Structure 1
Amino acid sequence: GTPGGVPGGMVDEAPLRVGGAVSRPEKISGPQPVYTEMARKARVQGVVIVEAIIDEKGNVTNARVLKGLPMGLDKAALEAVQRWKFKPATLNGRPVRVYYSLTVNFQVQ
């Protein structure tokens, strides 16, 4: 292989922000987050906002919680989001890496 695992010595471009000529990624599939038992019993509801990088293949990377909920719900949201699959964002028809905020809703049924 090549040193550092980067083919042809390409420099990784910094992720872009969605907007203008950069289309937003579209969620194709992925699990719903699991409600923790403690949070369900306490009837904790709300949203967890996760910022992540969606890569050129539509994978979620570098996910981190921007706004969390207690009792393990932010961790549950992160675990779910990391398994989501997206149609990648594009710039001039070419798939690109983007920063993207994902909102995960928790509502007690």
Structure 2
Amino acid sequence: TKHVSPRYPSAARNEGRQGTVVLEATINPSGCIRGVEVLTGSDPDLEGEALRAVTQWRYTPTLLNGVPVPVIMRITVNFHLR
């Protein structure tokens, strides 16, 4: 499993924008993310950064009876200032 952390968009950080982005992604049989879409999000900058990061994620393939299969999952990305 490989996860690329999303970067906080500088415009959003400077303006104090925070939020949560929920994505639905298909993980193909080789463990690569395909077909990502935003289910919920209220800020285009945060949505774009969540998509950029998540499309680079890689997973160990899911096996069904020993055969790699595609999986659909929801991914939540939180953007909160400290």
TM-score, normalization by structure 2: 0.88
The answer (yes or no) to whether the contact 2:19–2:43 under 8 Å persists in 1 is no
TM-score, normalization by structure 1: 0.68
Residue from 63, 67, 80 that aligns with 2:40: 67
The residue aligned with 2:75 is: 102
5+ long unaligned stretches in structure 1? 1-27
- The AA in structure 1 aligned to 2:31 is G
Aligned length: 82
Residue 58 (structure 2) pairs with residue 85 (structure 1): yes
The residue aligned with 2:26 is: 53
Identical positions, percent: 38
Structure 1: distance between partners of 2:44 and 2:29: 33
Deviations 1:24-46 (A, max 9, x none): xxxx1121111111211222223
Structure 1 segments, 4+ long, off by >3 Å, are none
* SS of equivalent to 1:48: strand
- The AA in structure 2 aligned to 1:96 is V
The alignment yields a C-alpha RMSD, in angstroms, of 1.3
The answer (yes or no) to whether the contact 1:52–1:101 under 8 Å persists in 2 is yes
5+ long unaligned stretches in structure 2? none
Which has the higher Rg, Structure 1 or Structure 2?
A: 1
